[in-house]
Amino acid sequence: MGRLTTHVLDTAAGTPGKAMSVTLHKIVDNRRETLKQLVTNHDGRCDQPLLEGDALVAGVYELEFGAGDYFRAQGVQLPDPAFLDVVTLRFGIADTAAHYHVPLLVSPWSYSTYRGS
């Protein structure tokens, strides 16, 4: 059974990105359909897969992470406007039987991602 998961690592503090907002969208006909809005837990993860089983269909998706609000809540002084505010990752799912893990490694000045396991 395939599934989509994510987690956030705060690379500036060296800690999990807890209490960060995450929104999942599916791209259909060049429009975004919001599927879920979540907040990461104490370990920087969502408590359940974002999608799994029959809900995981092939297509293009976006994850939006509320990085600016997260760093402000941590007491980080950000410029106005912040260099990074909402981090959007667009990715494709082709194999609905596979596990797609899409983590975000983020600081106020940079981010990276990869397809994890």
The annotation places the binding site at 7, 45, 114
Spatial separation of the C-alpha atoms in residues 18 and 23, rounded to whole Å: 15
Spatial separation of the C-alpha atoms in residues 50 and 6, rounded to whole Å: 8
DSSP letter assigned to residue 42: T
Q: Which residues are annotated as a binding site for substrate?
A: 7, 45, 114
